[in-house]
Structure 1
Amino acid sequence: MKYDKLLYFCDKCQNMKHLKGYQVQENALMIVEDPSGTYVIRNGYFDYIQLSRSGIIKRALVNLAKQISFSLSELAQVLHISERTFQRYADDAKLSADTSERAILLSQLYQRGTEVFGHLDDFKEWMRTPLPVFDYQTPISLLDTTFGFQLIQDELGRIEHGIFA
């Protein structure tokens, strides 16, 4: 896989359009300009594994945080790094495999949530609402564990199929 100018995370490449010579999803959430490389994730866990191992560039993660309205503090909590450590990275520095993997999980979650809710803003609001299904915690507060990610993904599946708890 060649990486050139965009960072793009997606689960399903549907509604394709041409963007700078690459096929990308029309409603893609996670696109950033990145002089060091293009990351095009089509379908397949091996692409995610390769991207996790090679590391995501800090600038891409900052762009993701802006798109999903995460503060630096919230992002640091999800990524399991301190705010100060994150701030010390240069914009073009590659993040560790663990941090990159969590960033991909976050991107996938918000992509899925946008598909289920129809609009990113609706999903962002839901993520910040205390819900009975999560013991009156906000979904965003559960993102510090992979179990929390899975719990939210499971709930999105129930919502998609009209099964409300």
Structure 2
Amino acid sequence: MKNYEIQEDSLNVVEEMLVPYQTYFESPVNRLQVIKGGLSSKSLNDLLLISGSTRFDMAKNLDLTEPTLRKHLGNPKELSTSLSEHVLFLLELYDKGIDTFGSIDNFKNWLPQHNIGIGAKPSDLLDSITGINIVINELNRIDHGILA
């Protein structure tokens, strides 16, 4: 029972971290507005904590060097338009993954597994917006029971 409680606590923390971003997921207009204005560098830290990724892996997914990612993490300036868009799509992906799998841990366990529906490991597609959209579409298919 104790393990379940730990899992429940981590899910609550992750869900709370995603709440400020969820209004951006609901509307393309909201999404575009925040992307053009630039997400706060705090969003990078939130993404690191939610995903459990290393800085190296996160930098790779965001097409940054690890020192550049570290610089962004320590700087309170807004992120560029392209980086804001990528970070926001990844945050939305994690939000959707939790919704589909019921826990952050189940979603994280699914990401590195080869998926027949997309012909790749979902984690290998996170370095582009198109790849993230492919993974989100696969999550939608799973939600609707379309597994092949």
- TM-score for both structures, normalised by structure 2: 0.78
Matched, 1:142 2:130: no
Aligned to 2:7: none
What are structure 1's unaligned runs of at least 5 residues?
1-26, 32-37
Aligned to 2:96: 112
Aligned to 1:121: 105
8 Å Cα contact 1:57-1:95 kept in structure 2? yes
Aligned to 1:30: 18
RMSD (Å) for aligned C-alpha atoms: 2.2
In structure 2, C-alpha distance between the alignment counterparts of 1:97 and 1:63, rounded to whole Å: 18
CA shift for structure 1 position 39: 6.5
8 Å Cα contact 2:118-2:138 kept in structure 1? no
The equivalences for 1:58-97 within 5 A come to 58-89=41-72, 90-97=74-81
SS at match of 2:60: helix
**Structure 1 pair 39–63 and aligned structure 2 pair: CA distance change class (3 A):** closer
* CA shift digits 1:71-103 (9 cap, x unpaired): 112211222222111212334121101000000
2:71 counterpart letter in structure 1: R
1:156 counterpart letter in structure 2: L
8 Å Cα contact 1:58-1:93 kept in structure 2? yes
2:64 counterpart letter in structure 1: I
Alignment partner of 1:98 out of 55, 69, 82: 82
CA shift for structure 1 position 29: 4.2
More strand by share: 1
Aligned to 2:4: none
In structure 2, C-alpha distance between the alignment counterparts of 1:40 and 1:109, rounded to whole Å: 11
CA shift for structure 1 position 59: 2.3
What are structure 2's unaligned runs of at least 5 residues?
1-14
SS at match of 2:39: coil
Which is bigger in relative contact order (C-alpha 8 A, separation at least 6)?
2
More helix by share: 2
> Structure 1 residues 154-163 or 51-60, which shifts more?
51-60
Alignment partner of 1:54 out of 37, 40, 45: 37
CA shift for structure 1 position 162: 0.9
1:67 counterpart letter in structure 2: I
1:78 counterpart letter in structure 2: N
SS at match of 2:147: coil
- TM-score for both structures, normalised by structure 1: 0.71
8 Å Cα contact 1:54-1:97 kept in structure 2? yes
